[in-house]
Amino acid sequence: MVYCFDLDGTLCNTDGNNYNDSTPKKKRIEKVNELYEEGNTIIIDTARGSVSGKNYFFFTVNQLKSWGVKFHTVRTGVKIGADIFIDDKGIQDQIFFKD
């Protein structure tokens, strides 16, 4: 299975665009690492830099590694499709459409 996780607000606490002071949500990271160890593909997908145009890729990869996050792919500045998408701002389609 391919799991795609949003970063800020989902796997870490971030105040605005203050990525230097982001703090990991350790229990959630443990779950991501379990999924990785089970053989699932883990994608970390963040909009960091999508508005400013700043390249946050290497900063984000280093930050994730320092927190012990296991992943296959990191994308910054754009979002990606996945089998399962976990996002702090997402709304399930059945709830949104009330069906």
Q: Buried b vs exposed e over 52-86: b needs ≥16 C-beta within 10 Å? A: eeeebeeebeebbeeeebebeebbbbeeeebeebb
Using one digit for the tens of pLDDT, what is the confidence trace for 41-83? 999 999 898 888 899 999 999 999 999 999 999 999 887 667 7
Residue 63 identity: Q
- Put simply, whether the predicted model's pTM sits higher than 0.85 gets the answer no
Query: Regarding the domain delimited by 2-97, which CATH topology (the fold level of the hierarchy) does it fall under?
Result: Rossmann fold (3.40.50)
Q: Would you say the C-alpha torsion 45, 48, 75, 33 has a positive or negative sign? A: negative
- Domain ranges for the chain: 2-97
